[in-house]
Amino acid sequence: MGIIIQWAIIIGIAGFLLRRFIPAKGIMNISTQEAKDKFTDKGVQFIDVRTPNEHTANYRKPFKNIPLANMKTRSSELDKEKEVVVICQSGMRSMQAAKLLKKQGFEKVANVRGGMGSWV
């Protein structure tokens, strides 16, 4: 009986980690270099979901700051017809934002893998 409980816990943890780290269907994971390569594309919107203080301390053009906490109410500021590239500090909050945008009907959504922590 104890082994069954241990396996159930291991499977539960594995499932949780997979949901957190594997991109949702339809969300691209791109590198910081791939994000930079899109900077000249007028059909791409760049969103930084970090807090305003984090954004100000380490700002990168052309990312617009829409904190994750405000994404639901401010997503109307974005064009659903254009690609959205989302970044945060590590890639975790931006993945949450990307999933939210997909649920709201955005077709082209990309998460910057590693976030600002991997910016070179």
The conformational region for residue 115 under phi > 0 = left, psi -120 to 50 = alpha, else beta, is left
- Total residues belonging to the chain: 120
Active site (annotated) includes residue 93: no
CA distance 51 to 57: 10
The residue from 84, 88, 95, 100 that is catalytic is: 88
What is d(CA 82, CA 79) in angstroms, rounded to the nearest whole number? Answer: 6
Provide the token pair at 50: 């970090």
Please identify every residue annotated as catalytic.
Answer: 88
